[in-house]
Amino acid sequence: MAKNGKSGAAALKGKPVSASRSEMTEIVLPAQTNPLGKLLGGQVMHLVDMVAAMAAHRHSSSYVVTASVDYIDFRNPINLGEIVTLTSQVNRVFRTSMEVGVEVYSENVMLGEKKHTTTAYVTFVAIDEFTRCPKLVAPLIVKTAEERRRFRDALKRREVRLALRYGK
């Protein structure tokens, strides 16, 4: 293998999206809310990063670092005492990086209400544990129409984020 860990693509076996799909559930406590009793945006971002990292870590079987968060959208507030569920899935693998999509839902158990509150896209780079350099990621096997749509859309988002990063 090359020193930067980028060779050996042929040896990597593809994995389906379902193999790394991840989920986290939390209940909103007072220390995580603003004076209006709404979950802080920074807390949502932390949870998004965590659940997204789980999917990237599972897919790549590697250590991963967050390279960028290019889109995060707060559609509805999440209130004190509500249950927050976050789901993540790898949308597309490039070479050493992968885009993960995250959706956040809130649940008010007393009212029996569930709301979609947030969508986010996070890019992770797999890091070789010895060289600490980016390493190739196993290909993603997309099966459903929805997975294929996310796969196509991820390429458009990558073009935008790399243009912002490298100014090209």
Ligand X SMILES: CC(C)(COP(=O)(O)OP(=O)(O)OC[C@H]1O[C@@H](n2cnc3c(N)ncnc32)[C@H](O)[C@@H]1OP(=O)(O)O)[C@@H](O)C(=O)NCCC(=O)NCCS
HEC-encoded secondary structure of the chain: CCCCCCCCHHHCCCEEHHHCCEEEEEECCHHHECCCCEECHHHHHHHHHHHHHHHHHHHHCCEEEEEEEEEEEECCCCECCCEEEEEEEEEEECCCEEEEEEEEEEEECCCCEEEEEEEEEEEEEEECCCCCCECCCCCEECCCHHHHHHHHHHHHHHHHHHHHHHCC
Binding flag, residue 125, ligand X (CB under 6 A): yes
* 97 makes contact with ligand X (CB under 6 A): yes
Stretch that binds ligand X, among 23-31, 103-111, 138-146, 158-166 (CB under 6 A): 158-166
- Closer residue to ligand X in complex, CB, 143/165: 165
The CA radius of gyration of the chain, in Å to the nearest whole number, is 17
d(Cα 52, Cα 9) in Å, to the nearest integer?
23
Count interface residues toward ligand X (CB under 6 A): 14
The residue from 58, 94, 119, 131 that contacts ligand X (CB under 6 A) is 94
| Total residue count of the chain as it appears in this document | 168
Choose which of 96, 106, 117, 118 interacts with ligand X (CB under 6 A).
96
CB of 65 to ligand X, least distance (A): 4
- Tell me how crowded residue 57 is: count the other CB atoms within 10 A of its CB: 16
Interface characters, 30-69, with ligand X (x: CB under 6 A): -----------------------------------xxxx-
Q: Which is nearer to ligand X, 49 or 82 (CB)?
A: 49
101 belongs to the binding site for ligand X (CB under 6 A): no
State which residue, 75 or 152, has the beta carbon closest to ligand X: 152
165 near ligand X, rule: CB under 6 A: yes
Q: Can residue 95 be called a binding residue for ligand X (CB under 6 A)?
A: yes
Contact set with ligand X (CB under 6 A) = 65-68, 94-97, 123, 125, 134, 161-162, 165
